[in-house]
Amino acid sequence: MDTIKTTQGQYKINGEYTMNRQILHQKIISYFMSEDNLNNNDPEAILLGGGTASGKSKLAKLLISGYAEDEINLIRIDPDEIKNLIPEFRSLQALNPEIAADFVHDESSDIANDLLSLCIHKKVSFIYDGTMKNFPKYQKLIYRLINEGYTVTAAVVDVP
């Protein structure tokens, strides 16, 4: 039986994405990084954790709206939102929605990590949407953010 390669498996060769894929990644990152988001005074990082369908997206929208009232723009870094911008995801959603997310998961995570690094480098405020199940990863991220001058807030959303 043939196995289907993920988009990362198809387009990442020897640790690097193909040139066309790098261009796609840059377009996706540019979609999130508008000039309006480049407020780098007192950067804030909001880390959201929780399982699927726990309400993280709803909380993120409320936070973004609240910050916007104070004229602070937050970039939302959400691998699930990034998935929607990967062409294979959209086409696979129509054919087989059960496997579409898994098929592009690793690539959307790579793009999210690149967007996260760019936000930190430019001192841009953001919301990072994840599960928080990997404690060492988040511990390292929090230390990095604090060292880069960020105010860090973490919230875990759970459904009883």
List, for residues 98-155, the tens digit of each pLDDT value. Answer: 899 999 999 999 999 999 999 999 999 999 998 888 999 999 999 999 999 999 999 9
Total residue length of the chain: 160
For 7-156, CATH number out of 3.90.1300.10, 1.10.10.60, 3.40.50.300, 1.20.1260.10 equals 3.40.50.300
Alpha carbon distance 106, 54 (integer Å):
21
Give the tens place of pLDDT for each residue, 16-62: 999 999 999 999 999 999 766 666 678 999 999 988 778 888 899 99
Main-chain phi, psi angles of 16, to 5 degrees: -130, 140
The domain segmentation of the chain, as residue ranges, is: 7-156
3 state SS for 48-108: EECCCCCCHHHHHHHHHHHHHHCCCCCEEECHHHHHCCCHHHHHHHHHCHHHHHHHHHHHH
Q: Which of 89, 149, 116 is nearest to 33 (CA)?
A: 116
pTM: 0.91
